[in-house]
Structures are given as structure tokens and as C-alpha cells.
Chains A and B, each alone.
Chain A
Amino acid sequence: MNTTLVKSGEYSVIIVEGRVDTTNAGEFEKAVMDVVESGTDKIILDCTGLNYISSSGLRIFLIVHKRMLAKKGCLKLCSLQPGIKEIFDISGFSTIFSIFPDQQTAESD
């Protein structure tokens, strides 16, 4: 798992790569929450390179989502691989997250 932070306009884009599973969920949580707590209220999680997510990983997405809701901020996901999109669909998470096909549409929405 690897995360990279880039600024794109008013958005903080976190590029997630690799696998997010039980072994590194904590690490992932810290990386993302650091961005959240840095005061940014517009975050895009770019999942182009995310090729596996376990339920522990989903939990972190959820924590971030809830935190952003509490901050009245905005969290968007984009560029999910089909397998990951499937997991979001199966778990019903697609209904609570704003998911976009790519970063551009995420930003312009």
C-alpha cells in the first residue's frame, strides 16, 4: 500500500496504490486521516492503483467518510477498478460514497 498526496485546485487528491487489507489498514488510516485533520475539507481518493480492499480497508473508508460528514466536508472516490467497484456495490457502500469514473468528473461535480 502506498499513498501520495497531490493538490488539484481546491481538492486534496490522495492517490491510493496497492492493497488495503488488515495488515496495513492502520497505516492507511493514519495517512488519510492526517490529510483530513490538516484542515482540508475537500478530498478525493484516487483509487486507480488500488487493486484490493478488505473489509478492514472499507472500514477506514467509512471512518473517513464519517469524519468528513462531521466536518461538513466532502469526500469523493474516483477511478475505482472494476473489482473494487464490485466490492463497493456488493456491500452497499456505493450508496453512501460519491463515486466518480475519473478525477476530472469528481472535481467538476
Chain B
Amino acid sequence: MKKTTLSYHIIKNVLFFCIALFLVTFSVYYYFARKTIREDTRENSVYLAKTTINMIEQVLTLAEKNPQIIAKMLESSFVSKDSLLPFLKSMLSVNNSLYGSIIAYEPNYYPEHGMYFAPYVYRQGDSICSSILGHINYEYFYMDWYQIPKITNKPYWSEPYFDEGGGNVLMTTYSVPFYTQVNGKRTFSGVVTIDISLEWLTKIITDVKILNTGYAFLLSRNGVVISHPNSEYIMNQTIFTIAKEINQPGMRETGRRMIKGETSFQAAEFRSAWKKGKLWINYAPLPSSKWSMGIIYPEDEMFASLHRMNIILLVLIIVGLISLSIVIFKIVSNLTSPLKDFADSARLIAAGNFNVRLPEIKTEDEMKELHNSFSFMQKELDEYMATLKETTSAKEKIESELRIANEIQMSMIPHIFPPFPDLPQIDLFATLKSAKEVGGDLYDFFVIDGCKFCFAIGDVSGKGVPASLFMAVTRTLVRSISDNVHLPSAIVESLNKSISQNNDSNMFVTLFLGVLDLKTGELQYTNAGHNPPVLIRKNREAYMFEKTKFIPAGLFEDFKYGESSVKLESGDMLFLYTDGVSEAENSQGELFGEQAIMQIINNNITARPQELIDKMSAEISGHVNGYTQSDDITMMTIVYNG
């Protein structure tokens, strides 16, 4: 596994959290800031459009006044037809924005002038010229500037046009119908026009400064470009021809709405051919002339402040996060630096150096607690080790004593086989396999008076030194008692009396004691609560002795024991054992059992004493299969060769 530090984890988690927090905050901020900017821009734009349109309107309405006044004057017959030309001349001379003016009468209005009568003044360079229009080749009645006001009975602003005679100036004409009383009836009598230069208009429009490269443009009521920073468009293109040229249906749609006189501020649904990037547009109509003004906002400029803000914010945040990381690293390093020392100390302690110096902790926090725990552990370990040393040595002492006790125990029982080389009647073998703890099993045999063979096998309750001491006492008593008494029941009774007295610990010993007459083969025996031995009749069958009705020795001092007897034939064998054999246990808790004992005996009916015991030992080992031996295992076989 890759080694990582605590500060790495904390920084990673904190940074992760901070970045997530930042992203959320930023998104919200960005959304609202963008919305605010859009709103502000819209308001500014609406205001800008309004002001610009007002400026244009001011000029146009002012220009409208002259022909309207003239129309009124003509209607009221204030002016004679001869003073018309001077009147128009003087009007032009005081109004520089006027390039020309016509008062065109209906055909034959003045019969003396014939069909046509239209006094006209116009600028020619710096001078003001005049003429009377109307000719067979110039029937002004059919011109738009005449026809439209006549039919609609309303003043009319013409489509802008270039005045080729007047120095290529963009012009437009305003026509106002006038009426006179003919036969007492108000009758249409002609049209008063003024030609007005649109130079100033272009100037107003180009003066509109929007952001860095934003601009305004003006469309006529037919969508003709009247004013645009790209002068090639002016009067040469309509918004629709441009839209078609650059294939922008959105632009056509916008154009349609504009000439319909709608107002809007929105993200443009089109791209411009000469202005790159996403655009926003605001458009509004000019009420008098029905023209429409558009204002274009490049989006990147519109949100430039926001983007600049974003960059500043990003830089601040990166710097902030880096500083945060450094600070966390410092703090965590400071806080955890003792941990590394603790780890070193722990390693030294583990190596057995309990008195290693712990890192000094000045703070009163968890580190201090850790320090306290460590020093407590040191102290405890130290004490524990001291105790352990003591107990280990004590244990070693006890173990060695136990081993000696076991050796003494073992030395008390005969273990030289065959035990009586000069006693042909008896062939005998016995084993006592101690459990880990010193046990209380015993066996013994000896000859009394040269003609009786006394043997005993027994098991003291419990284990350990008390059991082995009890066993030693028993064995000694049996030997000493049988010096004087030869009857098994008397021996056991005497033994019982001796060990029952002052037996506060209530220990007891099971004992099978037999006295065999070597001459007759008569076996007298007393079983004090011991496992019944097996009698194997030579070349015949084997059977267990009956269960005893006598209790183990050591329980009640006045208990009366009896004896039984059986006659042994030459070659008959006795197999005696303790419960360590019948209750040998394997890991599943299954006991070896008397049945197994009988079966092994039956399978080895002719075996010699040692052979049978070896066989039995092997079978027991097979049964327990390595499971810890919990009790002494003692067996004794005696063959009578009478």
C-alpha cells in the first residue's frame, strides 16, 4: 500500500470539499451575476435606444414643422403664388439641414400655369437655386412623394435615397398634403415637400457607442439599411438580402419584427457576417418615420466584466486553496509530529525497552491523553514484565518440583520387568503413563511370605501434588498393612480406616487389591470402587469381573469391605487398568470405553502381558489421535503360570 500522510488525507478531503463548495457558490454567483448584467444591459440599452430615437425624432419632428406650417399657410391662402419661391428660398437659407423644398399643385390648379405648377428651391453648392417643376416628361403627380400623401391624406416620409445631384448625400423627403377651399369645399390641392439630408442621422447613429465594438444601425420601413458601421450596406442592402446572403433565417425573422415596429432586447438568433461571436440585439421603432433602430451588443463584451471577475475569483481561489493546503499541512504536521515519535517509542517498547523516553506533550488535548496512555502502558508493561519474571521463575520452580514429584511417584512403583525372574509362576507387565499434571494412579505388587502374590491398582481422586502424595501414602500403607494382614478385605479396611481419619480434603482412592495363592491359583480380591479388571482364561474367553459394591477407600472410616475369590488356571491372565484407559478421550469427547477394551483383548487373546499392553496403548493412541491426555493411563497384566 502506498504510504500516505495524515495531512495528505485531511488536505485532500478539505480541498475536495472546498472545491465542491466553490463550484456551487460560483455557479450560483455566475447565474445571478449574468442575470444582473443582462438586466442592466437591457435597461441601459432601452435607455440608449430611447435617447437616440428621441434625438432623431427631435430633428425629424422639427423638420416636419416647416412643410406643415406651409401647408397650413397655403390652406389659409396667406401666401400668394408669386411669393412662394422667395418664401421657400428664405426657409432654406435659415435651415441648413434642408436641401430642397417643393410646393406641388394638382394639375391645372392655376389654369394660367397650365397642367403643371410646382415651385422648387434647392441647394446647389453654397447657393440656393429655384425652378418650376413639371413637364410632359416629369409628371410629378405620379411620383411616390406626391401620390402617397394624396391617397392617404397623411404626411409621408419617403424611403431614403441618394441625391445624385446634391453631392451624393443621403436624403429623405417629407411630403405633407395641403388643401384649399374650392367651391366652399375643402379639397386636396397639392403636396409640400422638404428634402432633408440624413448626414446628421448617420452621425447620431455612429456616435452611439456600445461597449467596445457594439454598434447601432437603422432600417427603413422596408428593411433597407439606412445607417450601419459597414458603409457598404447603406442603401445597397436590406436586412433581408443580407440574411439571404449569409444564410441566417434568424436575421430575416428579426428584420420582419423590426419593420413591424416591435421592441425587444434578446440574444440575437443570428450571426453577423462582419461581427464575430454571439450577439445580443435591442431594437425599437422610430414613431414618426416608421424606421427601426437596432443596437448590437457582442456577448463577450457584454459579459467581459463578469469574465474578468471570474478570472480574478479563480486566481483568488487557487491562491486561497494553496494557502489553505499549506496552513493545514503546517497545523496537521504540528499536531501529529508527536505521533511519529510515539510510533518510534512504541517500536522501542515492543522491542522490550520499556523505559524509553516519550515525546514531550505541552498541550492538554488528545495527544496528552495518548501520552498518558503510553506512559500508563509503559508502567503496566514494566510491572507486568516484573511480575511475569517472578511468576515464570516461580512456575519454573513449581514445574521442576512437579517433575521431581512425578519422578518420586514413578520411582515408588516397580518398573523393572520381569520383576520376579526367580518366580516362574508369575509373568507380569505394567505401565503408568502420566498425564501432563502429576496424577494419582498407582500400581504395586509384591510377594508375601514367599507363597502369596499381592497386587494392587488404584486411582486417587483429583490430580497434582495432593493426589500424588495421597497415592504415595496409599501405596506405603498397603505395603505396611499387608506385612501383617493377608486378607484383601482386611488390608483395604485397614487402609480405609487410616486414610479416612482426618481426611478433611475428602480425597479418596479406588483400589483393586488381589492376593493370589501361588500354589493353588486361588485369587482373593477386594474391589474398592475401581474399574473391574478383565480375566482372560487361557485359550478360552475373556470376561470382566463383576462391578463392585464397595466404595473407594478414604470416604467412611467404618465402611466394611468384603472380598470375592476366583480360581486361576495356569496361563490365565488378568488385565487391570484405571479409568485413564476406559475414559481416554478424543477431540470429539468420545471415550475409549470398556467395549473397546474387551474387543482388543478378544482380538489378542493369546498375547503376552507386554504385548497386550503395547497393543492396548497403540489402540488408545489411535483413539485419542493426539488429543491432550487428561488422566494417567495405567495398565497391568498378570499371567499365572501355576
**What are the residues of chain A within 8 A of B440 when measuring CB–CB?**
55
- B-facing residues in A52-73 (Cβ within 8 Å): 52, 54-56, 58-59, 62-63, 66
The reply to whether A55 and B548 form a contact with Cβ atoms under 8 Å apart is no
The CA-CA distance from A22 to B439 in the complex, in Å, is: 11
Q: Is B195 at the interface (CB under 8 A from chain A)?
A: no
**What are the residues of chain B within 8 A of A59 when measuring CB–CB?**
461-462, 506-508
- A-facing residues in B442-481 (Cβ within 8 Å): 459-464
What's the least CB distance linking A62 to chain B, in Å? Answer: 6
Residue of B nearest to A59 (CB): B461
Q: Is A37 at the interface (CB under 8 A from chain B)?
A: no
Residue of B nearest to A21 (CB): B630
What's the least CB distance linking A107 to chain B, in Å? Answer: 26
What's the least CB distance linking B35 to chain A, in Å? Answer: 77
The reply to whether B506 and A56 form a contact with Cβ atoms under 8 Å apart is no
The reply to whether B463 and A91 form a contact with Cβ atoms under 8 Å apart is no
Residue of A nearest to B532 (CB): A90
- A62-B529 in contact given A21-B630, A56-B462, A90-B548 (Cβ < 8 Å): no
The reply to whether B463 and A56 form a contact with Cβ atoms under 8 Å apart is yes
**Number of B residues, CB within 8 Å of A:** 32
Q: Is B631 at the interface (CB under 8 A from chain A)?
A: yes
Q: Is B101 at the interface (CB under 8 A from chain A)?
A: no
The CA-CA distance from A83 to B583 in the complex, in Å, is: 10
**Number of A residues, CB within 8 Å of B:** 22
The CA-CA distance from A91 to B529 in the complex, in Å, is: 3
The reply to whether B506 and A63 form a contact with Cβ atoms under 8 Å apart is yes
Residue of A nearest to B555 (CB): A62
The reply to whether A90 and B531 form a contact with Cβ atoms under 8 Å apart is yes
Q: Is B579 at the interface (CB under 8 A from chain A)?
A: yes
What's the least CB distance linking A60 to chain B, in Å? Answer: 9
Q: Is B550 at the interface (CB under 8 A from chain A)?
A: yes
Residue of B nearest to A64 (CB): B506
**What are the residues of chain B within 8 A of A56 when measuring CB–CB?**
461-463
**What are the residues of chain B within 8 A of A51 when measuring CB–CB?**
589
Per-residue CB contact flags for chain B residues 494-531 toward chain A (1 = under 8 Å, else 0) read 00000000000011101000000000000000011111
| Residue of A51, A55, A56, A96 with most partner-chain B CB within 10 A | A55
Q: Is A95 at the interface (CB under 8 A from chain B)?
A: yes
Per-residue CB contact flags for chain B residues 530-565 toward chain A (1 = under 8 Å, else 0) read 111000000000000001111110011000000000
The CA-CA distance from A91 to B459 in the complex, in Å, is: 11
Q: Is A92 at the interface (CB under 8 A from chain B)?
A: yes
The CA-CA distance from A91 to B527 in the complex, in Å, is: 9
| Residue of A59, A63, A89, A93 with most partner-chain B CB within 10 A | A59
- B462 in complex: contacting residue of A22, A89, A96, CB < 8 Å: A22
Q: Is A25 at the interface (CB under 8 A from chain B)?
A: yes
**What are the residues of chain A within 8 A of B437 when measuring CB–CB?**
22
What's the least CB distance linking A31 to chain B, in Å? Answer: 17
**What are the residues of chain A within 8 A of B507 when measuring CB–CB?**
59
- A90-B461 in contact given A55-B579, A59-B506, A62-B506 (Cβ < 8 Å): no
| Residue of B460, B506, B507, B532 with most partner-chain A CB within 10 A | B506
The CA-CA distance from A63 to B561 in the complex, in Å, is: 21
- A22 in complex: contacting residue of B463, B506, B551, B555, CB < 8 Å: B463
The CA-CA distance from A65 to B529 in the complex, in Å, is: 17
Q: Is B487 at the interface (CB under 8 A from chain A)?
A: no
- A92 in complex: contacting residue of B460, B549, B579, B591, CB < 8 Å: B549
What's the least CB distance linking A90 to chain B, in Å? Answer: 5
The CA-CA distance from A89 to B510 in the complex, in Å, is: 12
The CA-CA distance from A16 to B464 in the complex, in Å, is: 25
Residue of B nearest to A67 (CB): B506
The CA-CA distance from A26 to B212 in the complex, in Å, is: 102
Per-residue CB contact flags for chain A residues 38-61 toward chain B (1 = under 8 Å, else 0) read 000000000000011011101100
The CA-CA distance from A55 to B463 in the complex, in Å, is: 9
Per-residue CB contact flags for chain B residues 585-606 toward chain A (1 = under 8 Å, else 0) read 0000101000000000000000
The CA-CA distance from A52 to B631 in the complex, in Å, is: 13
What's the least CB distance linking B599 to chain A, in Å? Answer: 17
The reply to whether B631 and A90 form a contact with Cβ atoms under 8 Å apart is no
The reply to whether B462 and A93 form a contact with Cβ atoms under 8 Å apart is no
- A83-B591 in contact given A21-B630, A22-B462, A91-B529 (Cβ < 8 Å): yes
The reply to whether A93 and B461 form a contact with Cβ atoms under 8 Å apart is no
Residue of A nearest to B506 (CB): A63
- A52-B551 in contact given A25-B462, A59-B508 (Cβ < 8 Å): no
The CA-CA distance from A63 to B555 in the complex, in Å, is: 9
Per-residue CB contact flags for chain A residues 1-39 toward chain B (1 = under 8 Å, else 0) read 000000000000000000001100100000000000000
The CA-CA distance from A90 to B546 in the complex, in Å, is: 9
What's the least CB distance linking B74 to chain A, in Å? Answer: 133
What's the least CB distance linking B97 to chain A, in Å? Answer: 120
The CA-CA distance from A54 to B579 in the complex, in Å, is: 9
The reply to whether B506 and A55 form a contact with Cβ atoms under 8 Å apart is no
**What are the residues of chain B within 8 A of A22 when measuring CB–CB?**
437, 462-464, 630
The reply to whether A90 and B529 form a contact with Cβ atoms under 8 Å apart is yes
Residue of B nearest to A96 (CB): B551
The reply to whether B506 and A66 form a contact with Cβ atoms under 8 Å apart is yes
The CA-CA distance from A95 to B437 in the complex, in Å, is: 31
The reply to whether A55 and B461 form a contact with Cβ atoms under 8 Å apart is yes
**What are the residues of chain A within 8 A of B552 when measuring CB–CB?**
91-93
- A58-B461 in contact given A91-B510, A96-B555 (Cβ < 8 Å): yes
**What are the residues of chain B within 8 A of A52 when measuring CB–CB?**
589
What's the least CB distance linking B387 to chain A, in Å? Answer: 23
What's the least CB distance linking A63 to chain B, in Å? Answer: 5
The CA-CA distance from A65 to B583 in the complex, in Å, is: 24
Residue of B nearest to A83 (CB): B591
**What are the residues of chain B within 8 A of A62 when measuring CB–CB?**
506, 508, 555
Per-residue CB contact flags for chain A residues 67-106 toward chain B (1 = under 8 Å, else 0) read 0000000000000000100010111110110000000000
The CA-CA distance from A93 to B548 in the complex, in Å, is: 10
What's the least CB distance linking A64 to chain B, in Å? Answer: 10
Residue of A nearest to B631 (CB): A54
| Residue of B437, B463, B532 with most partner-chain A CB within 10 A | B463
The CA-CA distance from A51 to B506 in the complex, in Å, is: 23
The CA-CA distance from A100 to B430 in the complex, in Å, is: 38
The reply to whether B550 and A92 form a contact with Cβ atoms under 8 Å apart is yes
Closest 4 CB pairs of A and B: A55-B461, A91-B529, A92-B529, A92-B551
13 CB < 8 A contacts A-B:
A22-B437, A22-B464, A22-B630, A51-B589, A55-B510, A59-B461, A59-B506, A66-B506, A90-B529, A90-B532, A92-B552, A95-B550, A96-B555
A22-B437, A55-B460, A90-B531 are known; give 12 further A-B pairs, CB within 8 A: A22-B462, A22-B463, A52-B589, A55-B508, A55-B579, A62-B508, A66-B555, A90-B579, A91-B529, A91-B530, A91-B552, A95-B551
Binding site for B on A (CB under 8 A): 21-22, 25, 51-52, 54-56, 58-59, 62-63, 66, 83, 87, 89-93, 95-96
